[in-house]
Amino acid sequence: MNTDYNLYKIFLYLYEEKSISKTANKLYVSQPAISYSLKELENQLGYTLFYRNSKGIEPTEEAKELYGYISTAFNILNEAEDHLKKLNNLSIGCIRIGMTSQIGMSLLSNYIAKFKKKYPGIKFEVISKTTPEMMEMLENRSIDIIIDTLPITSKKNVKKVVLTRLFNCFAYSKNLNNKISINNLEDLNKYDLILPGYDTSVRSKIDEYMESKGIKLNPLVEAGTSEMLLEMIKDGLGVGYLVEDLVKDKETYEIITFNHELPAVDVCCVYVEDFLTTATKKFIEMISAFQK
pLDDT tens track for 195-246: 988 777 788 889 999 999 999 999 988 887 778 888 899 888 889 998 888 8
pLDDT under 50: residue ranges of the chain: none
List the beta strands (DSSP E) in the chain. 50-53, 56-59, 93-99, 122-128, 145-149, 159-166, 168-173, 193-196, 221-223, 239-243, 253-256, 265-271
Q: Residue 108 has what pLDDT?
A: 84
CA distance 145 to 4: 40
Q: What is the predicted pLDDT for the residue at 110?
A: 87
- pLDDT at res. 32: 92
93-165+267-290 CATH fold: D-Maltodextrin-Binding Protein; domain 2 (3.40.190)
pLDDT for the residue 104? 65
Nearest to 23 by CA among 12, 15, 14: 14
* CATH of 168-263 among 3.40.190.10, 3.50.50.60, 2.90.10.10, 3.90.230.10: 3.40.190.10
Q: Report d(CA 162, CA 150) in Å as an integer.
A: 9
% helix, strand, coil for the chain, step of 5: 45, 20, 35
Contact 149, 265 (CB under 8 A): yes
Distances, alpha carbon 209 to alpha carbons 81, 125, 184, 187, in Å:
54, 35, 14, 15
Domain ranges for the chain, please list them: 5-88, 93-165+267-290, 168-263
The CATH code of domain 5-88 reads 1.10.10.10
The CB density around residue 164, as the number of other CB atoms within 10 Å, is 15
User: For the whole model, what pTM was predicted?
Assistant: 0.63
Q: How far apart are the first and last CA of the chain?
A: 51
Check for a shared fold between 5-88 and 168-263. no
